[in-house]
Structure 1
Amino acid sequence: MESGLDTKKREVPGQATLSVDNIGGIDDAEVSFRQGINVLSGRNATNRTSLLQAIMAALGSDQVSLKADADEGTATLEFGDDTYRRYLQRRNGTITTDGDPYLEDPELADLFAFLLESNEARRAVARGDDLRELIMRPVDTNAIQAEIEEYEQRKQRIDDQLDELDDLEQRLPDLEAKRTTVTDEIETLQADLEEAQAELEETNVDVEERREEQSELETKLEELRSTRSELERTRDRIETERESIEALETEREEVQEQLESLSTGDETEISRLEAEIDALQDEKADLSEEISQLQSTIQFNEQLLDEPDSVLANTEANGGDGPVTDQLLEDGETVTCWTCGSSVARDQIETTVDQLRSVRQERLEERSELSSELDERRETLSNINENRTEYQQTQRRLDSIDDEIDRRNDRVDELTTDREALTDEIDELETEIDELETEDYSGVLDQHKEVNQLEFELERKERKRDEIEDEIASIEDRLRERGDLEARREDATDELTDLRTRIDQIEADAVEAFNEHMENLLETLEYDNLDRIWIDRTSREVREGRRKVSRSSFDLKIVRSTADGAAYEDTIDHLSESEREVTGLVFALAGYLVHDVYETVPFMLLDSLEAIDSERIATVVEYFESYVPYLVVALLDEDAQAIEGDHDVITNI
């Protein structure tokens, strides 16, 4: 699974102990948990949410707050033989963290394990957010795509090599036929040479008195043979150089065409793109800062609504008798404003928080659009730079080809001069030999010439046979690579298949998990006239930079039935608050399971379940227990009493 969460599965101890100082509304506390269900039972404003935040802090989350009157806080989790400690400090109005938490990257846990009221997975369903984007957010799709492109290139290189082997294999029959022909010609030449040598031996006359002339003649004949052999080699080298020049000129035309098709880009356009990228990055950074501030404000106000004591100054510590706190505990309809100190209706603050959430969502969408624009500008600039680099490389290749053509032309000129000199030398030798010939010796001279010519031709054919055999041996050596190349190609193909289906498989698993658990829970929870809730996975065309790609979409479907049993499709807006909360929790559970979060963080935290009735809360909690090693749930006393079975209940925090 591609995500930022720790990928190493850890052993889960049977018990955990948490020590807390100055987190949320907690001065100091120590609480122990055991595997299974752990219920935090109590009224509102009894620091249950603060304790959940302390667990999150020790596990690695940054979505925590310090006590309002404290500048430092700690959360320490003793888990088996290991201890994980997190330090929080307030600096310039923001909270910084340090220490050694359980997780290096809490992204998956924040999304799918820490299910407080503000949890994004829970809220995504109610707000109608992009469920597919949220499920796939921990998956580094860019890295997967880059890996796909790398394996495609690797596979293409192997395919090119296999095609080359196919071409070489097709040449073998022709080469073997040529070898057979040349071998037959060699055998014929060897027979002719043996016959000519025998005839020369038989017809050799006694020319003892002219031995000096014979010796000189034989020397000239040997020189003639050697010179002819050198002339033939020179002609072969000239032909080879000309073939190379022809191939280079063909390559030069191809490179020239490639060069003309490339653009080096306009410096003004590059400067403009770089300036736009800088501006978009600054704008995105500003939006990220604003989103972070909005999130902090939302969390602060949510905590103010749930646990006023955790954010209001301790009035007794400043000499007061605590009437504001008493009033908060007695009257749940008003809350003391943390900015001006006046009493404000709870629903007014809730409305403000909803407005802040809407603004935050708008900013998130703006940031997403900016990211798309930024990616498009970067891709354009990258393409220009790649073209410039390719242009320069192509120009260097063209210059190299020109140099090579010039060098080979010079070599052809040199060899042509050598060939002309050798031709002149042969003419001179033949003239000298003719002058040495006599009437009595003319037959012997002819036989000498024939033997020399046969020896020369035999040497040339043997050299040609050796060249053919070397080429055949080279091809056979290359063909032995086929098995290894085919195995590597199969590996690359398998890896490509896995990479291309990985994203699709995660999406399919998430939809299947949600639909299965939603069906199971709805059957048990027995909501009136709510027949089915499921995710329908469809595909649609979207633009990514300059390209259009196919992307999956998760559409939430709801079917109800009338009193007379007629089914009809409904929308998320018409779900009751209880139904929406259950749907959001099941969606979070699907993410928890499909990303195997339970393997790396054994805790799931549940809070703000008041919209669901007690019996259904008990059903949901008991259902979730089957999939989570440590399930910690914050409940009101009356809801906690509905939880059956063996479980821990924590009331004093």
Structure 2
Amino acid sequence: MAQESKPVAQVDVRNIGGIDEASVTLPEGVSILTGRNATNRTSFLQALMAGLGSRQSSLKGDAEKGEVTLVLDDETYTRTLQRRGDSVSFDGDPYLDDPELADLFAFLLENNEARQAVARGDDLREIIMRPIDIDSIEAEIRECKREREELESEIEKLDSLERDLSDLETDRREKVESLEAAREELESVNDELDELDTGIEESQTRKQELENAFQRVRDARSKLDNIEFDLETERSTLSELKAEREELHETIENAEKPDENADRLAGRIDELRGRKRSLDDDINELGSVINFNEDLIDGSGIEIYEGTPSDDPTDALNADGQTVCWTCGSEVGTDQIEATLDRLRELRSDKLDERSEIRAKIQELTDQQSSIREAEREIERAQERLTAVETEIESTESRIADLEDQIESKQEEIEELEQDAESIDVEGYDESIKLHREANEIELRIERFKDEIEEIDDEIDKREAAIERREELKSEREELASRLTELRTRVDRIEETAVEEFNEHMETVLEILEYENLDRIWIERRETEVREGRRKVTRTRFELHIVRSSSDGTAYEDTVDHLSESEREVTGLVFALAGYLVHDVYETVPFVLLDSLEAIDSDRIARVVDYFRTHADYLVTALLPEDANALPEEYAYTESID
């Protein structure tokens, strides 16, 4: 709720409800529209609702077009109503793009759903939760769970890396020890070679020739060793790829084939959504018709008859209980209109029930569609990966065959080089070639140890760097867990808050209004099992309790049906106020509109208005003069709307 002072709101109306033309200024705070019945107070409230974005307004019976202009905070908002055959279209640039919250919890006229839900014993929980996008919350929950699973998998890998780190360090120490031993062994062999070479009497040229021959052998053996290492790596890769291929085949074969087609479900969902939109329009239209006719019967509606109207609105009814039909101009019995109204109310109630059922069905089909598409995506990902693995296997097998050919060729080359070395005639050759071969093998081992130690060092560095990220990943996982908890409990929190708000405000209001033998009205939040389609699910229900006291002071539980009209109206208003506060409607629209409070006595109306005024920047209410007299003089009063 805004705390800063708000400027006045200017509302200009033409051809809405029973209004030809009207211009009303609404200052911040409480504005009272006072007057007898048939003075267009309700029509003005409906016009203001239209300017704020609602569709629950009616076009004047003899007009083809109506319009509302609202000037607020130096901004101008417009709404036009245009008759098109049997319906009325809405256009313009109103204050709200989506009026659902305001229609439910701020525009509290007689036909307001939140007020009527209490009187009819409707599902109060459905009214409170209607503005919540459950589909969006559940989609976000699924995304959070997917991200959490990925993080947990990565953290598990890092935990495994840390466990293996000590094994790597042990392996490194053993390789270093082996390297040092090989170097000592090489040094010993080289010493023997030096002694042998000293004793060999030959020309420097033949010695160099012998050394060069041995060097060519060493080089060839070194290359052979590298090729064999590459071959071992490729064979290991091939083994892993084949194991993955088997897993992918098993995943695809074991995947459950969906019973339904996701696209077919999408078509059914679209049909249901179209039906729901149609029901929304029907419910709004029925609400307007019901409200219009109720106003007509009680004398507060528009004046359809020709001639000069009497000051007494009851003159619209003749002595035989007849009134003028607003559609055809003929006289019909009031009881006939009441009967029609009952049928319209019943029809609207049926459509509300059907809309609830359609919502549940849409939710069920949307969940089913999401499950099917996720299963299809998993199979598709497995098939794509299988194709990639098959390609990698072919490439790896090709590289293995090429490496095997290289090894065979290199082995032949080494045999030829050794034969060349053996053909060199040098005294002491046999012992020398034996030592050179031994030195060559030791040097290869040394190079292999160096490479392995370098690989281990790189692996240790990578693992240590990765392990450092583990705390960051754990922090992200905790944030996701908190987000999941928040999403999972958001609906619960809204329900709990709605119940708390209602119970708290109801207790306060009952204390203020001082109803006799009415001790408490409160909502209990209960879990019940209901059937949705072919499955049973747990749903929350708001159960309304009424506690009274008998003349001897004994408390007993009563029902809504036994509430007086005044008590029922107050309960409906407080329930709407709970929704208004739970959904922070004051942040969406700065107005609260009240109408049809005649069932409440004047003194209590004054207390209700005083209680509600603290929750909105602008509180606009329509009252009869005798009820308005009980309110403070500092409120703004408008006595005539043309």
Shared fold, TM over 0.5 = yes
Hey, what does 1:232 align to over in structure 2?
Answer: 225
1:456-479 C-alpha deviation (Å, 9 max, x unpaired): 211111111111111111112212
Residues 305 and 11 of structure 1: CA distance in aligned 2, closer, same or farther (over 3 Å): farther
SS at match of 2:132: coil
Q: Does 1:422 align with 2:436?
A: no
Q: Does 1:304 align with 2:292?
A: no
Q: Does 1:519 align with 2:507?
A: yes
CA distance in 1, matches of 2:57, 2:3: 25
CA distance in 1, matches of 2:34, 2:2: 31
SS at match of 1:415: helix
CA contact (8 A) 1:68 1:311 kept: no
Alpha-carbon offset, residue 295 of structure 1: 3.1
CA distance in 2, matches of 1:152, 1:197: 65
Hey, what does 2:398 align to over in structure 1?
Answer: 410
Residues 374 and 602 of structure 1: CA distance in aligned 2, closer, same or farther (over 3 Å): closer
Residues 334 and 33 of structure 1: CA distance in aligned 2, closer, same or farther (over 3 Å): farther
CA contact (8 A) 1:193 1:451 kept: yes
CA contact (8 A) 2:299 2:316 kept: no
- 1:183-222 to 2 correspondence within 5 Å? 183-205=176-198, 207=200, 209-222=202-215
Hey, what does 2:623 align to over in structure 1?
Answer: 635
Q: Does 1:492 align with 2:484?
A: no
Unaligned ranges ≥5, structure 2? none
Alpha-carbon offset, residue 308 of structure 1: 5.9
Deviates further, 483-492 or 239-248:
483-492
2:113 counterpart (120, 127, 132): 120
Give the CA RMSD over aligned residues: 2.9
CA contact (8 A) 1:10 1:600 kept: no
Hey, what does 2:170 align to over in structure 1?
Answer: 177
- 1:243-282 to 2 correspondence within 5 Å? 243-262=236-255, 280=272
CA distance in 1, matches of 2:314, 2:547: 46
Letter in 2 for 1:508: E
CA distance in 1, matches of 2:88, 2:406: 87
CA distance in 1, matches of 2:351, 2:269: 19
Hey, what does 1:51 align to over in structure 2?
Answer: 44
Hey, what does 1:481 align to over in structure 2?
Answer: 469
CA distance in 2, matches of 1:251, 1:643: 80
- 1:63-82 to 2 correspondence within 5 Å? 63-82=56-75
CA distance in 2, matches of 1:369, 1:504: 21
SS at match of 2:474: helix
Deviates further, 368-377 or 272-281:
272-281
User: Size of the alignment, in residue pairs?
Assistant: 641
Unaligned ranges ≥5, structure 1? 1-7
SS at match of 2:198: coil
CA distance in 2, matches of 1:49, 1:424: 106
Letter in 1 for 2:431: G
CA contact (8 A) 2:125 2:540 kept: yes
Alpha-carbon offset, residue 131 of structure 1: 0.6
SS at match of 1:456: helix
CA distance in 2, matches of 1:331, 1:162: 85
CA contact (8 A) 1:9 1:600 kept: no
Residues 277 and 143 of structure 1: CA distance in aligned 2, closer, same or farther (over 3 Å): closer
Hey, what does 1:88 align to over in structure 2?
Answer: 81
Deviates further, 367-376 or 73-82:
367-376
Deviates further, 583-592 or 12-21:
12-21
Letter in 1 for 2:437: K
Hey, what does 1:5 align to over in structure 2?
Answer: none
Alpha-carbon offset, residue 349 of structure 1: 2.5
Alpha-carbon offset, residue 120 of structure 1: 0.4
CA distance in 2, matches of 1:266, 1:606: 52
Alpha-carbon offset, residue 92 of structure 1: 1.8
CA contact (8 A) 2:161 2:463 kept: yes
Q: Does 1:161 align with 2:150?
A: no
1:456 counterpart (444, 455, 471): 444
Q: Does 1:150 align with 2:138?
A: no
2:589 counterpart (601, 604, 621): 601
Residues 592 and 381 of structure 1: CA distance in aligned 2, closer, same or farther (over 3 Å): closer
CA distance in 1, matches of 2:90, 2:530: 39
Q: TM-score, normalised by structure 1?
A: 0.90
Q: TM-score, normalised by structure 2?
A: 0.92
CA distance in 1, matches of 2:479, 2:330: 69
1:646 counterpart (631, 634, 639): 634
Letter in 1 for 2:227: T
Alpha-carbon offset, residue 391 of structure 1: 3.2
CA distance in 2, matches of 1:337, 1:217: 126
Hey, what does 1:4 align to over in structure 2?
Answer: none
CA distance in 1, matches of 2:100, 2:566: 27
